[in-house]
Amino acid sequence: MGLLAVFLLWLLSLSRAKASNNIGVNYGQLGNNLPSPYLSIELLTKMKARHVKLYDANPDILNLLSNRKIHVSVMVPNNEISNIAVNRRAAEEWVRNNVLPYLPKTKIRYLLVGNEVLSSYSEQGRKMWRDLVPAMQMIKRSLKALNISSIKVGTPLAMDVLESTFPPSRGMFRYEIRDNVIIPMLNFLNRTKSFFFIDVYPYFPWSQNPYNISLDFALFRGGLSTRDPGSALVYTNLLDQMLDSVIFAMSKLGFSNIPLAISETGWPNAGDIDEPGANIFNAATYNRNLIQRMTTNPPLGTPARPGVPIPTYIFSLFNENQKPGPGTERHWGLLHPDGTPVYQIDLTGKSAAADFGPLPAPKNNVPYKGRVWCVAVKGANAMELEAALTYTCNQSNVNCDGLAPGRECYEPVSIAAHASYVFSSYWSKFRSQGATCYFNGLAQQTTSNPSRGPCKFPSVTL
Ligand SMILES: *[C@@H]1O[C@H](CO)[C@@H](O)[C@H](O)[C@H]1NC(C)=O
Ligand SMILES: *[C@@H]1O[C@H](CO)[C@@H](O)[C@H](O)[C@H]1NC(C)=O
Ligand SMILES: *[C@@H]1O[C@H](CO)[C@@H](O)[C@H](O)[C@H]1NC(C)=O
Ligand SMILES: *[C@@H]1O[C@H](CO)[C@@H](O)[C@H](O)[C@H]1NC(C)=O
C-alpha cells in the first residue's frame, strides 16, 4: 500500500472518529402492546444506547438498569411538583424512595422535575409554573442532604417557552413566564452547572409551513442556507436555528453559558392524511443525520456556540399506541412494539446512511389536497363504536338528526355506518379547534367519499 493510501485511510478514520456516548433514547411506555421492561432494556442495550430517559422513576426499570453501561435520566411527575415545592420532607422522601435505593448500581445522572410544565395552560397547569423552580431547588437540596453530587437537576421545556424564534437572534422567552419562572430557573441552572433541557422538533414548524421551509433544510440535507440578519450567522438546518433561538433568548437575560441538552427530538414515521412528511424515509433521514451531527469529534455545536457538545435524546424507543391526538403521536418510535426496527439506525454514529439498505420512497412529502372524511376503523368493536356515537351526538352539538329512522342517513342501518357519519360530522366541525380523527382508535381519515345516495357525509377540505 502506498504512503498516500495509508494517509488517506488515516484521514478517513479521523473523519469517522466518534464521540460515541452523546445519544440517548426516550423510553416512553404509553402503549398496551409494548415489550416488558426487561425486554425493552435488552433492546436498548443491543442498540448500544448509552443514555435512556424515563418519564417517571419506575422501580422495575431502575432495577433492571443496574450494572449496565446505560446512564439514566429519571423524572418527577408533574402532579407531585406542587407538593414538593413547598414541602421539604416530601422532596427528601421523593429522592429517598425513587433515587437513593438504586445508586450507585443504576447510573442515574439527571433528575428532571416535570415534563413540559410551562406548556400547560389550564388553571391547574399555570399554578405549576409558579411551583416549578421551587420544586427543582427542593430536589437539589434533598440530593445534597443525602450527599448525592453526581445527579444534575433540570426540567424539559417545549419550544413554546419562546414567544419569538425566528430569526434565531430574535429568540425571546414568553413575557408571562420570563421574570417569575425563567430568570430564577436560569439562575438555578447556572449556579448548579446543569443543562437547559429543550424538546425540539423541526418536524412541527416544517409541517405547519411546508411551502416556506424546505424539507431538506429540516432533514439536514442542505436546502438553502439562511443568514440571520441580526447576528450574521449562517444556518444550514432548522434544528440549529431552533436551538440558537433558545441560546439567544437566554443570552438576552444575561445567561450566555448555560449548556443546552435536547431532551426530545425526532421525526414521525407515519401519520394521518392531513400530516405531511410523516414517513419512514424522513424519520430515518432525520434521526440518522441528527446522530451523525451530534457524534462528531470534536463536537459541531451550533452557529452561536460552535464546538459545544449537546447531549441528545431521541424520541422515542417504541411506537406508542395509546398516545392520544393525531396519528403522528403514535409513530415516533425507532422500534415497533414487537421490538423490530422501523428502520435501521446506529446510535453510535459509526454507520452512515450509505451503510444501511434502501428506504421506502416517501409518498406524502407534498401536503394532500382534497376532501378527507373521518370514518370508523374496519373491524372496530361495535359496542365501543355505539358508545362513541351516542356520546358524541349527545355531548358535542353535532347534529345527528339525519340518522333517525326514515331520514337520509338511516340506511344502511349499521353501527359502523352511523358512527362514520357522526365521526365525519364531528371532525369537520371541530378540526379547526384542534379536534382529531381518532376517537380512541375507533376512527381514521380516508380520502374515499363514504356518502351514499341522499346521505352526504361532511368532510374537511385540505
Ligand atoms: C454526608 O456527608 C457528611 C460529611 O461527609 C456526613 O457527615 C453526613 O453524615 C453524610 N450524610 C449522609 C446522609 O450520608
Ligand atoms: C453564572 O455562573 C458563573 C459561575 O459559574 C458566574 O460567573 C456568572 O456570573 C453566572 N451568571 C449569572 C448571570 O448569574
Ligand atoms: C410564506 O412565504 C410567503 C412569501 O415569502 C409569505 O408571503 C407568506 O406569508 C409565508 N407564509 C407563512 C405561513 O409564513
Ligand atoms: C346525554 O347527556 C346528559 C348530560 O349531558 C346525560 O344526562 C344523558 O344521560 C346523556 N344521554 C345519553 C344517551 O348518553
According to the 3-state scheme, what is the secondary structure of 390-413? HHHHHHCCCCCHHHCCCCCCCCCC
Q: How far is the CA of 252 from the centre of ligand 2 (A)?
A: 14
Q: What are phi and psi of 455, to 5 degrees?
A: -85, 110
- Reduced to 3 states, what is the DSSP secondary structure of residue 315? coil
400-411 mean pLDDT = 95
Residues 282-300 have a mean pLDDT of: 96
The domains of the chain, with CATH numbers, are: 3-355 (3.20.20.80), 371-461 (1.20.58.1040)
**pLDDT at residue 11 tops 60:** no
Average pLDDT value for residue range 150-171: 98
90 touches 84 (CB < 8 A):
yes
Phi-psi region of 405 (alpha: psi -120 to 50; beta: other; left: phi over 0): beta
Q: Choose, from 42, 92, 163, 264, the residue flagged as catalytic.
A: 264
Instruction: Report d(CA 253, CA 258) in Å as an integer.
Output: 12
Single out the catalytic residue among 42, 80, 92, 116: 116
Which of 448, 445, 385 lies closest to 414, judged by CA? Answer: 385
Please report which confidence band the pLDDT of residue 17 belongs to, taking 50, 70 and 90 as the band edges: low
Residue 264 designated active-site: yes
pLDDT, mean of residues 100-127: 97
What confidence score (pLDDT) does residue 262 get? 98
pLDDT attached to residue 22? 82
Instruction: Average the pLDDT over 22-34 and give the result.
Output: 96
**Cα-based distances in Å from 3 to 6, 11, 13:** 5, 12, 15
Distance 212 CA to ligand 3 centre (A): 6
> What is the number of residues in the chain?
462
For residue 6, pLDDT beyond 80: no
pLDDT of residue 413: 94
- DSSP characters for 192-242? TT--EEEE--THHHHHHSTTTS-HHHHTTS----EE-TTT--EESSHHHHH
In this predicted structure, the answer to whether residue 384 has a pLDDT above a threshold of 70 is yes
Task: Answer whether 15 contacts ligand 4 (Cβ < 6 A).
Answer: no
Helices vs strands, H then E, count in the chain: 14, 18
- Is residue 174 pLDDT above 90, yes or no? yes
The residues, any chain, with a CB within 8 Å of residue 135's CB and separated by 6 or more, are 76, 81, 82, 84, 85, 91, 113, 114
**Does residue 116 have an active-site annotation?**
yes
- pTM for this structure? 0.93
Is 370 within 8 Å of 462 (Cβ atoms)? Answer: yes
Residue 12 is predicted with a pLDDT of 47
Average pLDDT over residues 236-261: 98
Strand partners, 18: 296
